């Protein structure tokens, strides 16, 4: 593989109830926002200067990833020249390039293709879904990052708790936390800016949040954890800023998320996430039932080399995979659909990208509706149909057709209040799409309660 650096043309570079309580649909009390609460004053300015890349590379994984002069995510001008190896199956152009260049988001690669910066066999290709095959010669130059900004939007927010220092929000499914290419509007950040009566905010030029599916959903938000990068910013400040989001949830995941409203709160909460002292319980509906009612998964997680938007649990990762330690505890709360599904509780010890989804797949119980990790509609039907009368099959098919996201909900969140030291704990029932499927699965067959 040849990998080098080019200068881009100017025209292209300008741009605490238990889960069992929930099973009986207990009502949770919530503290609603106080109109007199202080307006948040924390925003994190970019601490990463623009560092020019002055080296040529023969291998991105061995050279770029270890070079401390390279700003994280700043791969503008990097050029890939590679012939598709014999034996390689036909694949989409954007997917193949993504598998060859580590550290560059698929959304950014798609932008490079659309900008005319990718050649296949000497011809410019502008279609990201262009199919390549063994023997094709691909030349790709990574485009400049496009500037991002977040505008205040009047988006209804479910505020579970608020005081002068923190917000606890119940994020709906299908909402992305950060603006990113393909998701510039309608994010949680857009809604928070409006809720707090704050102006449009520019984001630092970074590839960190550029995945279209908000894949960078690691619980501990390391990009803003450095205390030196956070300042109390006035509304008139023109610097690049971003709200005090301490952790993230995947786009398809609903549930609780905490937001810092001042510098001290942001730094204190970030340390709690880093030290894994945050209390987090998730609930999910799975395809199949765990072989053990409860257990602990301690398997590292790495980026899938064949699919950048997916993580994989690897028991013996090779050096180039850069796997990270990941540990989850699980418990089957209830068997559903005659044994074709289960309500499973997860307690996170670490907070890696897609941790629960990857560990669930590793256990052989992918989440219902999680097409990326094997919890497909066909799989759900294959598990449930043999366990229910044939007369119910049409209803079952209709139920499964409603699966539009992984059935995963951040049910409980606990942390030490950054100013008072009080132990705060919040719980929130899942949204209607989750509970509707749960209710119907309970009706499909005889259930067995688990310990």
Q: Which are the catalytic amino acids?
A: 250
The 3-class SS string of 267-327 reads HHHHHHHHCCCCEEEEEEEEECCCCCCEEEEECCEEECCCCCCCEEECCCCCHHHCCECCE
Residues 6+ apart with CB under 8 A from 345: 19, 281, 282, 283, 330, 331, 333, 411
DSSP state of 64: I
**Cα(181)–Cα(143) distance, integer angstroms:** 13
DSSP state of 367: B
**From the CB of residue 381, how many other CB atoms can be counted at a distance below 10 Å?**
18
Residue 336 dihedral angles phi and psi, to the nearest 5°: -125, 160
- β partners of residue 347: 281, 329
Specify the length of the chain in residues. 451
Query: Residue ranges of the alpha helices (H) in 241-371?
Result: 263-274, 355-362
Burial class (CB in 10 A: 0-12, 13-18, 19+), 68: exposed
Burial class (CB in 10 A: 0-12, 13-18, 19+), 358: buried
């Amino acid at each position: 593989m040849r990998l080098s650096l080019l200068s881009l043309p100017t025209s292209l570079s300008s741009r605490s109830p238990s889960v069992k309580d929930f099973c009986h649909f207990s009502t949770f009390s919530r503290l609603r926002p106080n109109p007199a609460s202080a307006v948040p004053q924390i925003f994190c300015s970019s601490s990463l200067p623009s560092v020019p890349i002055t080296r040529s590379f023969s291998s991105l994984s061995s050279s770029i990833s270890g070079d401390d002069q390279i700003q994280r995510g700043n791969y503008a001008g990097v050029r890939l020249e590679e012939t598709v190896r014999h034996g390689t199956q036909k694949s989409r152009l954007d997917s193949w390039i993504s598998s060859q260049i580590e550290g560059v988001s698929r959304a950014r690669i798609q932008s490079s293709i659309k900008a005319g910066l990718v050649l296949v066999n000497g011809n410019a290709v502008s279609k990201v879904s262009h199919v390549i095959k063994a023997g094709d010669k691909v030349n790709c130059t990574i485009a400049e990052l496009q500037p991002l900004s977040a505008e205040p939007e009047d988006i209804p927010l479910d505020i579970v708790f608020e005081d002068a220092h923190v917000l606890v929000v119940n994020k709906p499914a299908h909402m992305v936390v950060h603006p990113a290419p393909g998701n510039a509007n309608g994010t949680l950040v857009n809604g928070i800016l409006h809720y707090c009566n704050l102006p449009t905010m520019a984001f630092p030029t970074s590839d960190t949040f550029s995945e279209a599916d908000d894949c960078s959903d690691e619980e501990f938000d390391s990009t803003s954890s450095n205390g030196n990068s956070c300042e109390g910013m006035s509304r008139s400040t023109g610097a690049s800023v971003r709200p005090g989001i301490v952790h993230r949830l995947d786009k398809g995941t609903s549930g609780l998320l905490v937001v810092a409203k001042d510098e001290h709160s942001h730094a204190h909460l970030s340390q709690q996430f880093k030290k894994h002292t945050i209390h987090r319980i998730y609930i999910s509906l799975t395809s199949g039932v765990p072989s053990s009612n409860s257990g602990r998964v301690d398997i590292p997680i790495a980026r899938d080399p064949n699919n950048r938007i997916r993580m994989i649990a690897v028991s013996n990762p090779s050096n180039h995979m850069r796997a990270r330690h990941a540990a989850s505890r699980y418990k089957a709360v209830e068997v559903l659909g005659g044994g074709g599904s289960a309500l499973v509780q997860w307690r996170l010890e670490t907070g890696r990208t897609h941790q629960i989804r990857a560990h669930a797949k590793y256990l052989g119980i992918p989440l219902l509706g999680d097409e990326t990790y094997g919890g497909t509609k066909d799989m759900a039907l294959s598990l449930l149909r043999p366990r229910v009368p044939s007369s119910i099959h049409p209803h079952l098919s209709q139920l499964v057709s409603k699966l539009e996201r992984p059935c995963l909900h951040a049910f409980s969140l606990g942390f030490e209040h950054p100013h008072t030291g009080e132990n705060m704990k919040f719980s929130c029932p899942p949204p209607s799409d989750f509970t509707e499927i749960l209710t119907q699965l309970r009706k499909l067959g005889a259930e067995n309660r688990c310990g």
